[in-house]
Amino acid sequence: MQQADQPLAVLPGDNLTVALYTMRLIIERGLKARELFLDCGLDTRLLLLHHMQISHAELIAAPTHQLSEGDAAALTELAIRRGAGVPVARLVGEAEFWSLPFHLSDDTLVPRPDSELIVEAALSRIGGEATRILDVGTGTGCLPLAILSERPRSAALGVDISQGALAVAERNAHRLDVADRFSTCLSDVYDGVPKTGVFDVILSNPPYIVSNVIDDLDTEVRDHDPRVALDGGTDGLDIYRPLVAEAAPFLAPGGYLIVEIGYDQSSSVRALMLEAGFEPELLHDLAGHPRVLIGHKSEPN
């Protein structure tokens, strides 16, 4: 039993149900101190399942399992860090995207559910054919790897300016058993992509936040996602300019350039696409915000 004047902690000998209860209190108190009032039930469960290396079904089957001293201390520490604002994905070192697990590191963005719209857009355009895909700014590799998991005849090249991110993308390709169809290359937009490379689809979720807005972002993003994955320069368009203007030589006739955009960037990125000779199409996310622009490269007559 904990004394009222002691800081909250999961104790050795506590069972899993008590541990969940205590962790949730620690997290909620930490967040409340930062004026964040969130339902932490799911976060608490994910942290406990991850640390104990058990499934939800195993948790339900063994709620009276008693904790060792080491596990109690580790669970307390995880709860304290979550309460201090560290996202669950950072604490467990992985995130789910397209219902698949992806390793993370300090060099990678946590994949966002909104970006699944890029995957949907690509899948609906490439059918079951042997498609060649290029992903610029691949991070964890979540976009091309999700597509390869659905299209066994497709292959992809993921490029990034961060060597650390590429190492994570390769690890993820192995984890998802598609490494034989996925390669990576260090590249500032297209400068490292082989000039002979021709792709049916170019994907990108580039950094697109306006530089001077980054300090105002939610701390869970600002303090834990790498700045190079967020910062789009003074108008947010630094990467879109070369990404769109230099895409055509890397795209096969009839190919698609599919990019994620910020909610207020549809007209500026659309203008870049028109200038580069693409026919743009805008897709909205579930919240109704502009989210993805697709540039179609026309076939010669």
Ligand X SMILES: C[S@@+](CC[C@H](N)C(=O)[O-])C[C@H]1O[C@@H](n2cnc3c(N)ncnc32)[C@H](O)[C@@H]1O
Q: How far is the CB of 153 from ligand X (least distance, A)?
A: 22
d(CA 20, CA 22): 6
Please state the closest distance from residue 288 (CB atom) to ligand X, in A: 21
Residues 199/251, Cβ–Cβ less than 8 Å: yes
Identity of the residue, 138 or 265, whose beta carbon is nearer to ligand X in the bound complex: 138
Min dist. Cβ of residue 196 to ligand X (A): 19
Burial code (b: 16+ CB inside 10 Å, e: under 16) for 267-281 equals eebbebbeebebebe
The distance of Cα 293 from the centroid of its chain, to the nearest Å, equals: 19
How many residues in total does the chain contain?
A: 301
Torsion of CA 238, 240, 241, 247, to 10 degrees: 140
Which CB, 85 or 226, lies closer to ligand X?
A: 226
Q: Which is nearer to ligand X, 52 or 230 (CB)?
A: 230
Q: Nearest approach, Cβ of 34 to ligand X (angstroms)?
A: 25
Residue with smaller CB distance to ligand X, 186 or 274: 186
Pick between residue 36 and residue 149 the one whose CB is nearest to ligand X: 149
Helix/strand/coil for 104: coil
> What is the identity of the amino acid at 298?
S
Least distance from ligand X to the Cβ atom of residue 148, Å: 14
Are the CB atoms for 226 and 108 separated by under 8 Å?
yes
Judged by the rule CB under 6 A, the positions of this chain that interact with ligand X are 109, 111, 115, 136-140, 142-143, 159-162, 165, 187-189, 205-207, 228-229, 239
Burial class (CB in 10 A: 0-12, 13-18, 19+), 203: buried
Judged by CB, which is closer to ligand X: 122, or 159? 159
Shortest distance, position 47 Cβ to ligand X, whole Å: 22
